[in-house]
Amino acid sequence: MNIPGKTEENLKSRSDLVDIVIRKSLHPKKVGDKYEISKVTFQLSLNERKDVCKSLSDLRIPYRYSSNIG
């Protein structure tokens, strides 16, 4: 959900994609002295994230049917 410090999306993980030669569209690009990381295609906007959280909070399931999603 793009929470600072909680996401696994960083330069090191993107560099690993280069090393194993997969997903070329997600490879970091060098711009000057820094690297630029492109947005992934499945990243949710703020309103979409709020909608997902709202639908999960409104979800009604039988008691003890699943673990605590929160």
pTM of the model: 0.49
Number of domains comprising the chain: 1
Q: Note whether residue 67 is domain-resident.
A: no
* Residue 33 within any structural domain of the chain: yes
Domain boundaries, position 43 = 11-57
pLDDT confidence of 62, banded at 50, 70, 90? Answer: confident
Q: Would you say residue 1 lies in a domain?
A: no
35 in a structural domain? yes
pLDDT digits (tens, 9 = 90+) for 13-32: 888 888 999 888 888 999 99
Given this model, what pLDDT does residue 56 score?
85
Would 22 be classed as within a structural domain?
yes
pLDDT for position 70: 57
- The DSSP secondary structure of the chain, one letter per residue, reads ---TTT---SHHHHHHHHHTT--GGGS-EEETTEEE-PPPTTPPPHHHHHHHHHHHHT----TTSS----
